[in-house]
Amino acid sequence: MKHLRRVLLKFYQLFANSKAEAELAREIAAHLALLEDEYLRRGMPPEDARRAARIAYGGVEQAKQLHRDERGFQGLSQILQDTRYTVRQLGRSPGFTATAILMLALGIGATTAIFSIVEGVLLRPLPFPDPDRLVILGDVLEGSNCATCTRPGVTAPDIRNYMRDTQSFSHLGGYRGRLFELSGTAEPAAVNGTRMSAEVFAALGVPPLLGRTFTQQEEADNQQLAVLSYGMWQSRFHGDANVLGTRILLYRKPYSVIGVMPRGFEFPLNPGHVNQSEFWLPLSLQPEEFTAGGAAAWNSRMVGRLKPGITAERAQSDTERVARDTMRDYPAYMHSLRIHAVVTPLHEDTVEQARPLVHTLFFAVMVVLLIACANLAGLLLVRAIRRRREIAVRLALGARAATLLRQAIVESMVLSIAGGAIGLALAAVTLRVGVSLLPQTLPRLKEIALDWPVMLFALVLALLTGLLCGLAPAFAAIKTSVNETLKEGGRTGTLGSGHGRLRAALVVAEIAVALTLLTASGLLLRSFEKMRDVKLGFRPDHTLAALYVLPHQRYGTQSAIDEFTKTLRNDLEQLPGVDAVGVTSFLPGAGDHWNIAFTIEGYVSPQGAGLNMATTSLVQGDPFEVLGIRVRRGRVFTESDNAGSPLVAIVNRKLAERYWPGQDPIGKRLRRGMPETSTPWMTVVGEVDDVKLGSADAETLPQVYQPVTQTVASKGVFATAGELNASDGWIVLHTRMAPEQMQATLRATMRQIDPQLPLYQMQTMERAIANSETPRRFITVLISSFAIAALLLSVLGIYGVIAFSVALREQEMAVRMALGCQRSGVILDILSSGSRLAVVGCGLGLLGAVAASRLLRSFLFEVSPLDPGVLALSASAMLLLTLAASALPARRASMTDPVLALRGE
């Protein structure tokens, strides 16, 4: 109790110090007066009495110091005092202070903003209880070396087998996301939903906000139940508490709402804002999903919670065993397929793809911060040198080195904390605006926020920055040689060369890191340019696209679908302003496609080459004409290529060159599946140009086009009972006017044919391509703006250092010019000292660029990370800018008036 009271009072003393000092002085004076009276009374003469009183009292200053130590926390109170002093000092040079604080605010603000992405996307634990125990289970299909297979999937029989036969999971279930046609509440709309095992809810361990989730029994009974997301509940049901029991129509089948999940519940953890699942339905696998093509379609995923004490490795071998059993039971038509079970932590699975991007951004922003730091250290150093006479006088008067050190650090701390506070505000504003601009390839965007860990990060960053920036000037201050400095008198001609070297080192470091970033930005810009140069293989202008999916409930027979498609194509062709109409299952540029295995007649795969995978687009009408895909050989499909006629296919150039190099592909035959799969041959009737199905910087894949009417027939043993052709597709229109103007017309036409059928993702092809470029544009723009910031900051730093050294050498210059040195000589001298720094900095910077190339490699497209052009260009730009930055002080130096040499200071 007494101690608590005392600690509080000691803190209070920090702020009431001057009052306590006055009181103490008064008390001591009174004490001395009383003592003096006493000695006077004893008959001493006044002079002696005063002396005797002082002796009896002891050292007044010592007593005061003892009193101070006792009454308050001295370390703190000194720092407080130093802070007040610093703030006063800084207030006297507002230009310097504003520059320093703004520079730090930019550096710390940008770093904090990027760190909030690092924290929200990569570092924060997933929003489930005990998230480390959650794993993704999937198969890697041997030989299917395609880019889209990095996220291992499972088939319907896999889900059944893994759930039934593994022992490592307390809960394990499958899920599969897809687009749903939602009607029954308002305007029909397309929404993302997920079919999932009841066990998945149990594995994730998040209870619903309202109602309940479905049970395994309900799932097995094929009950049509739905659990809504918080977002859907709010947007479509206005947060109505009576939503439970409501019916929604999905593909025109009724589902009753039994629960609402809490806000922030998100599963699967898909990248981007728009792909989030809005509701969850029981997976209820149907018998046809286990047979024929269903058994060979890896289109679902599995998530599970490991049993306590079971490691991921144990689970891996457990699942591997089940996978072997599954393979043993493979039907004859797929017995050559080999799978491996893979267990990945859910967190890893979620963030893996985002990691390189986030790391690169963080690295780049740290470089900017480092340069800002170096600049500030340089500025502070210059200040310290300007004040070295003051420092020398203080040292001569007995100031301790520790005091000088503390004051220097306090000064840079005050600046960095002020900068940090403003930076935090900047970061908050940036995040407000910036999150919506993040590429949709990042997961967990909702979790990006300025929360406590981020604030703490900013604070620590500010403190570290202050400490780091303060060190250089602090040591410069204590290394000040009292004798030398005071002897120099007013003359500033000679300068401690040690400090000069320190400043030079700072500038060299700045140039080096700025060049590293500049090179990175150059490489990314070059990649972007290369991507823009890529031939997409189709013509995107004047083209409008939209997706439809026909609900089985209404279009349950082939004739109903055929009727719909025929009407649709007829009606669209009649529209004024429409040149050509086509329907295709994969839209170029949209990035949404998958691959299947093919067997090519007469082609023997080299040992270990794996499966022959190709993307298969199912087409109606003439999408080749609509999209301007050039036919290289043969013909396009006609109306007579239909369900009853011989099976035909069109291949792209890549496929033709891979399997029939140097030959005419027309007349060759291929079929779906593996050699052991019984499927009918298709005859190649045409060869077309390669088309980019995803973004332009993605790999071009072998492609096969088939008439949609022949789909089921070509599937052979893969076709499930009752499977229908053409139940979905992308409508593509080539228009004479701007494609945006056709949107309303397209919608109206569709509404006439089926008022309940929504059109999904209607967009112009130019828009689709722009979207596919977004991730690359994002990183390019961001890294380039960091590079520009780094460049400006380092040029500023170079200018500062050269200008300062010129100012110090003014006297020397005047003497030289008085002795007949030419102006050009002076200019050359200063330029050469600037360029020396630049050359050393650029050399180190190029080494840095080589070191950073590993990090950058995954973002480059058709550009080597050591592209000589880019390296040379960035280095020479850096050199030129450095020269420009030293040209200004050089010119000023050449203007020095020789009379100055005579005057001195």
Partner 1 sequence: MSNKDKESIQLLQGTLDLIVLRTLATMGPQHAYQIATRLQQISDRLLNLNQGTLYPALVRLEQYGWIKGTWGRTESNREAKYYEITKAGQKALGEETKTWRRMSALVERLLIQES
Binding interface with partner 1 (CB under 8 A): 2, 5-6, 9-10, 24, 26-28, 30-31, 33-35, 37, 56-60, 62-63, 66-67, 69-71
The CB-of-45 to partner 1 minimum distance in angstroms stands at 19
Q: What are the contacts of 292-295 at 24+ separation with CB within 8 A? A: 292/715, 292/717, 292/718, 292/719, 292/720, 292/721, 293/715, 293/718, 293/719, 293/720, 294/155, 294/156, 294/157, 294/720, 295/155, 295/156, 295/157, 295/330, 295/331, 295/334
The CB-of-19 to partner 1 minimum distance in angstroms stands at 13
Contact between 269 and 136 under an 8 Å Cβ cutoff? The reply is no
Nearer of residues 6 and 566 to partner 1, judged by Cβ: 6
Distance CA 435, CA 432 (A): 7
Residues in the chain: 905
Token code pair at residue 845: 């910077």
Distance CA 595, CA 575 (A): 35
Nearer of residues 27 and 48 to partner 1, judged by Cβ: 27
Nearer of residues 70 and 221 to partner 1, judged by Cβ: 70
Token code pair at residue 441: 């390839």
Strand bridging mode 631-634 / 595-600 = unpaired
The CB-of-79 to partner 1 minimum distance in angstroms stands at 21
Distance CA 273, CA 231 (A): 12
Distance CA 852, CA 854 (A): 5
Q: Which residues pair with 88 in a beta bridge?
A: none
The CB-of-477 to partner 1 minimum distance in angstroms stands at 33
Quote the Cα angle for 799-803-806, to 5°: 145
The CB-of-483 to partner 1 minimum distance in angstroms stands at 37
Only one residue has tokens 């999916």, namely 549
The CB-of-65 to partner 1 minimum distance in angstroms stands at 10
Nearer of residues 58 and 498 to partner 1, judged by Cβ: 58
The CB-of-792 to partner 1 minimum distance in angstroms stands at 54
The CB-of-43 to partner 1 minimum distance in angstroms stands at 16
Nearer of residues 55 and 464 to partner 1, judged by Cβ: 55
Nearer of residues 19 and 736 to partner 1, judged by Cβ: 19
Contact between 106 and 423 under an 8 Å Cβ cutoff? The reply is yes
The CB-of-356 to partner 1 minimum distance in angstroms stands at 59
Distance CA 270, CA 276 (A): 6
The CB-of-47 to partner 1 minimum distance in angstroms stands at 19
Nearer of residues 27 and 313 to partner 1, judged by Cβ: 27
Nearest by Cα to 331 from 500, 157, 555, 516: 157
Strand bridging mode 279-282 / 225-228 = antiparallel
Nearer of residues 35 and 636 to partner 1, judged by Cβ: 35
| 3-state SS class at 802 | helix
Classify residue 729 by burial, with Cβ atoms within 10 Å: 0-12, 13-18, 19+. Answer: buried
Nearest by Cα to 602 from 661, 540, 533, 649: 661
The CB-of-68 to partner 1 minimum distance in angstroms stands at 9
Nearer of residues 12 and 603 to partner 1, judged by Cβ: 12
Nearer of residues 9 and 123 to partner 1, judged by Cβ: 9
DSSP state, residue 271: B
Contact between 881 and 791 under an 8 Å Cβ cutoff? The reply is yes
Contact between 476 and 810 under an 8 Å Cβ cutoff? The reply is no
Nearer of residues 60 and 850 to partner 1, judged by Cβ: 60
Distance CA 625, CA 539 (A): 10
The CB-of-77 to partner 1 minimum distance in angstroms stands at 14
Nearer of residues 10 and 355 to partner 1, judged by Cβ: 10
DSSP element (H, E) containing 721: none
